[in-house]
Structure 1
Amino acid sequence: MAITSANQLELLQTAEAVAREKMIDPSLVVDAMEESLARAAKSRYGSEMDIRVAIDRKTGKATFTRVRTVVEDEELENYQSEFTVEQAKQYMAEPAVGDTFVEEVPPVEMGRIAAQSAKQVILQRVREAERDRQFEEFKDRAGTIINGLVKREEYGNVIVDVGAGEAILRRNEKIGRESYRPNDRIRCFIKDVRREQRGPQIFLSRTAPEFMAELFKMEVPEIYDGIIEIKAVARDPGSRAKIAVISYDGSIDPVGACVGMRGSRVQAVVNELQGEKIDIIPWNEDQPTFLVNALQPAEVSKVVLDEEAGKIEVVVPEEQLSLAIGRRGQNVRLASQLTALDIDIMTEEEESARRQKEFEARTGLFMAALDLDEFFAQLLVSEGFTNLEEVAYVELEELLVIDGVDESTASELQARARDNLEAQAKAAIDAARALGVEDSLIEFDGLTPQMVEALAKDGVKTLEDFATCADWELAGGWTTENGERIKDDGILEPFEMPLEEAQKLVMTARILLGWVDPADLETDEEVSEDADEQQSEAEA
């Protein structure tokens, strides 16, 4: 096939038709044609030649040219596309290194193979342009709702026509056992848009909590206008959900606005989500109050919050226990997701039994460690003392308020407590040394002997071992998988070490070892000071 005057205009017509069909810029198609013709020409003139093709955007005329570049003598490698200054003087008046000489060459006749190759190049470039267009169109739409038509279902995954491309609704992103037929209308949440080797991938979801939030935004004008805000969403897709809302206008009830007249607004969302029951809950910045709301319809007797551990104990009447937990734990699980707290539910009887058990355990501790009778040990527990450290180092006046305790008795109590703590510390150090712990870790400030023993039992026996620990490995923490919070136990968690303290201790160890330069730290001045003090003590 040769590019003749008879088919020059046809090139442009073909380019425009393809561009119109694929909704891309016609110039991109023409560029692909130029590249394909240049490749075909190289197969005729030689692959080492720099052959270029330019198609006139008005007439469709294709011009074939050969380009040669002027290079230094010692840099001449390709004799077909480069030449020296002396050689260039035959064609150019005053050639200089870097100049190019362009000469027109005759168009080529393309055989069947060359024509097929050119076609493949054009198709490839058109596909790439189409993918780029799709990505640019959808990359900023992640986090929004889109309507589409079902094209087909593959291995449980639904392929959706979203107008300018295809998107995928994976099996695990469908609600329950939803099934679709071709040409069914479907509404989804655009969860992610990624550029991949096979083209842009648009991932949809109908189970994402954000999907429910966006549906409410569509149905409730007050949410769209920002008067009401959705603070949190927790879902068991297709079954039940909880959504927490707050109103920034005191005259508007956020729950009532989301429910709508005769439930019209919330019912529209329920219908879209295959009958998923939705509890709309007023959000409150006070976590215990918010939790009580989140556990509705169950009634709560008492809430005990441990903010550092991110855990909360909820006490309910016996008859409310099953309602608070819900079928297969659904109610408490959704409340936990909504509040981002680990919730432990117990009945009033269970809580009373637990407290009695704790009371007896503390009484036994004081009787054994301080050599007290049961009555006196119970007095200490009743006054709020929970461990030996509190007795040993509390202000003397706090012991004197206990009935029957004078200054002499208080001093004796503290002396016994301190002696017992010292004995425990010595035993812990001896146990740690027996496990192979080095002095560098034993003498490291911030760790008690009992902590050192616990570290040793977990394989942390040197300061270097300690410095390689992550803060959450020491203090424990929480991770979220598939919407559920999972507890990671820390080595020093039994000693109630805060995460911030663990971070500080690890960084101090790294500075002492020379792994970290304090000057490189932006906001760790206190850590640096602690390390300097310990370094001075070590040198002394």
Structure 2
Amino acid sequence: MAITSANQLELLQTAEAVAREKMIDAELVIEAMEDSLARAAKSRYGADMDIRVAIDRKTGVATFTRVRTVVEDDLLENHHAELTVAQAAPYLDAPAVGDEIIDEVPPVELGRIAAQSAKQVILQRVREAERDRQYEEFKDRAHTIINGVVKREEYGNIIVDVGAGEAILRRNEKIGRESYRNGDRIRCYVKDVRREARGPQIFLSRTAPEFMAELFKMEVPEIYDGIIEIKAVARDPGSRAKIGVISYDSGIDPVGACVGMRGSRVQAVVNELQGEKIDIIPWTEDQATFLVNALQPAEVSKVVIDEEAGKIEVVVPDEQLSLAIGRRGQNVRLASQLTALDIDILTESDESARRQAEFAARTKLFMDELDIDEMMAQLLVAEEFTALEEVAYVELDELLAIDGFDEETAEELQTRARERLEAVAAAALANAREMGAEDSLIEFDGLTPQMVEALAKDDIKTLEDFATCADWELAGGWTTVNGERVKDEGLLEPFDMSLEEAQTLVMTARVLLGWVDPTEMEADAEAEGEEDAADAEAEAEAETR
């Protein structure tokens, strides 16, 4: 098949028809045609030749040319597509490396195989262009709601026609046991759009918390306008959900605005989510208050937050326990997701029993260590003394403030506490030396004999050993494993050593050993301080805006 004047215009007409059908640029189709014709010409003239084809965008005339590039003498490899400066002299005036010599060659006739190959090249390029168009169209629609029509079901997954392509709603992204038939209209959240070899893959979801947030944005104008913001969403898809909302206009109630007149707004969302019950909760920066609201309808007596561990302890009346936990733990689980905290729920009787056990343990500690009677020990515990160090080194006036304690009693208690602490320290030091702890570690400022003993038990016996430790190995910390926070026990954590204190001790040891230059540490500290100041300034400007 030769490209004659009879079918030259047909090239342009075909390109335009394909472009309209596939909704892509006609230029891409023409470029694919040029590429396919060039490949066919190479099979005729030789694969080593650089044959190029240009189709005139107005007349459809295809021009075949052979291109040879001027290269350096020692880089000449392909004699059919390259030539040296000397070889190019007859063709060019003052040839230079990189110049091209272009000669027009006769058009080729496409045999059956060549024509089929050209067709495949064009189809492949068109498919790639179509996939690129689909990806560009849908990548900007990620994290939004999209409407589609159910096309078919495959192994429980729903294939949805979204206009310019297909999307997939996996069975684990469907709400409960909902089922669809071909032709049903469906509304979903575009969870992800990925570019893959087989084309753009669009993944939908109806269980994502963001789906509920987007639905409320559609139903509540105040959310769309930014007057009300959804700060957190937690869902048990198809059953129950909780959302935390805040209003930036003191005259608008965020909960009432989301509920709507006679519940019309929230009911529209409930209907879309197959009857999922929704608790709308006012959001506040105070975690304890927000959690109390999140656990509704249960009443909360007391909240204790452990910020370092990311845990929170909630005390509820005994009769409220089942209500706070909810059916199959649903209420407390959703509240935990909403606040991003691990929640432990105790009844008032459980908490009272624990307090009594702690009171008894501390009372026994003072009785045994200070050799005092039970009543005096209970007085100390009642005044919130928890350790011998507090009794030994507290201001004497604090002991004298306890009913029944005179100056002689207070001084005697402090003397006994200090003597006991010295005896414990001496025993720990002797034990550490027996285990092989060296003076470099024992005399290091910042470590008590008990700390040195704990380190020696873990085979850390020299200052060099100590300097190789990581701060979290000493102070402990938290690691997230499979989405759950797991405690890392620190060697010196029982002595209430913080992460910052551990960092300071380790760096000081490294400086003493000459491993770290103190001037570099000061420069790093100054740089870090400047970064923190810049971040704080940027945050202040953002809040002002």
User: TM-score under structure 2 normalisation?
Assistant: 0.87
Contact 1:473/1:489 (<8 A) preserved: no
2:120 aligns to what SS in structure 1? helix
Q: In the TM superposition, what are the counterparts of 1:96-245 in structure 2 within 5 Å?
A: 96-245=96-245
Post-superposition Cα deviations, 1:471-501, rounded to whole Å, max 9, x if no partner, equal 499532263856xx53434335555555555
Report the equivalent of 1:486.
485
Distance (whole Å) between structure 2 residues aligned to residue 174 and residue 472 of structure 1: 44
Distance (whole Å) between structure 1 residues aligned to residue 168 and residue 458 of structure 2: 46
Report the equivalent of 1:350.
350
Distance (whole Å) between structure 1 residues aligned to residue 120 and residue 433 of structure 2: 73
1:312 corresponds to which letter in structure 2? Answer: I
Distance (whole Å) between structure 2 residues aligned to residue 173 and residue 257 of structure 1: 29
1:20 aligns to what SS in structure 2? helix
Distance (whole Å) between structure 2 residues aligned to residue 466 and residue 95 of structure 1: 67
2:195 aligns to what SS in structure 1? strand
> CA shift at 1:166, angstroms?
2.4
Report the equivalent of 2:476.
475
2:476 corresponds to which letter in structure 1? Answer: A
Q: In the TM superposition, what are the counterparts of 1:450-529 in structure 2 within 5 Å?
A: 467=468, 469=470, 471=472, 474-477=475-478, 479=480, 485-491=484-490, 494-501=494-501, 514=515, 518=521, 519=523, 523=527
Report the equivalent of 2:383.
383
Distance (whole Å) between structure 1 residues aligned to residue 185 and residue 116 of structure 2: 39
* Unpaired segments ≥5 residues, structure 2: 531-545
1:28 aligns to what SS in structure 2? helix
> CA shift at 1:301, angstroms?
1.7
Q: In the TM superposition, what are the counterparts of 1:324-335 in structure 2 within 5 Å?
A: 324-335=324-335
Contact 1:471/1:506 (<8 A) preserved: no
Report the equivalent of 1:289.
289
> CA shift at 1:513, angstroms?
7.4
Distance (whole Å) between structure 2 residues aligned to residue 86 and residue 115 of structure 1: 39
1:479 aligns to what SS in structure 2? strand
2:130 corresponds to which letter in structure 1? Answer: E
Distance (whole Å) between structure 2 residues aligned to residue 397 and residue 342 of structure 1: 41
Number of residue pairs aligned between Structure 1 and Structure 2 = 524
Distance (whole Å) between structure 2 residues aligned to residue 260 and residue 382 of structure 1: 52
| Of 30-39 and 188-197, the range deviating more from structure 2 | 188-197
> CA shift at 1:178, angstroms?
2.8
- Residues 51 and 366 from structure 1, CA distance in 2 versus in 1: closer, same or farther, beyond 3 angstroms? same
Kindly, what percent of the aligned residue pairs are identical? 79
1:305 corresponds to which letter in structure 2? Answer: I
2:57 corresponds to which letter in structure 1? Answer: R
Distance (whole Å) between structure 2 residues aligned to residue 421 and residue 438 of structure 1: 22
Report the equivalent of 2:535.
none
User: TM-score under structure 1 normalisation?
Assistant: 0.87
| Of 414-423 and 429-438, the range deviating more from structure 2 | 429-438
1:479 corresponds to which letter in structure 2? Answer: T
Report the equivalent of 1:534.
none
Contact 1:50/1:66 (<8 A) preserved: yes
| Of 460-469 and 153-162, the range deviating more from structure 2 | 460-469
| Of 387-396 and 422-431, the range deviating more from structure 2 | 422-431
Post-superposition Cα deviations, 1:57-100, rounded to whole Å, max 9, x if no partner, equal 11222111110111222222211111122221222233222211
Post-superposition Cα deviations, 1:454-474, rounded to whole Å, max 9, x if no partner, equal 667678777568756474995
* Unpaired segments ≥5 residues, structure 1: 527-540
Contact 2:466/2:509 (<8 A) preserved: no
- Residues 431 and 267 from structure 1, CA distance in 2 versus in 1: closer, same or farther, beyond 3 angstroms? farther
> CA shift at 1:136, angstroms?
1.9
Report the equivalent of 1:536.
none
Post-superposition Cα deviations, 1:107-134, rounded to whole Å, max 9, x if no partner, equal 2223333223222222222222222222
- Residues 109 and 256 from structure 1, CA distance in 2 versus in 1: closer, same or farther, beyond 3 angstroms? same
Distance (whole Å) between structure 2 residues aligned to residue 219 and residue 398 of structure 1: 61
2:130 aligns to what SS in structure 1? helix
Post-superposition Cα deviations, 1:228-284, rounded to whole Å, max 9, x if no partner, equal 111111111111111111122222221111111121111111111121111111112
Report the equivalent of 1:29.
29
> CA shift at 1:514, angstroms?
3.8
Contact 2:227/2:249 (<8 A) preserved: yes
> CA shift at 1:440, angstroms?
6.7
> CA shift at 1:421, angstroms?
3.6
- Residues 476 and 308 from structure 1, CA distance in 2 versus in 1: closer, same or farther, beyond 3 angstroms? same
| Of 191-200 and 463-472, the range deviating more from structure 2 | 463-472
Distance (whole Å) between structure 1 residues aligned to residue 145 and residue 459 of structure 2: 51
Report the equivalent of 2:265.
265
Post-superposition Cα deviations, 1:176-229, rounded to whole Å, max 9, x if no partner, equal 233323332221112222333443332222222111111111111111112211
Report the equivalent of 1:530.
none
Report the equivalent of 1:61.
61
Report the equivalent of 2:317.
317
Give the aligned CA root-mean-square deviation in angstroms.
Answer: 3.0
Report the equivalent of 2:533.
none
| Of 66-75 and 155-164, the range deviating more from structure 2 | 155-164
Post-superposition Cα deviations, 1:263-311, rounded to whole Å, max 9, x if no partner, equal 1111111111121111111112222221111110011122223333332
2:364 aligns to what SS in structure 1? helix
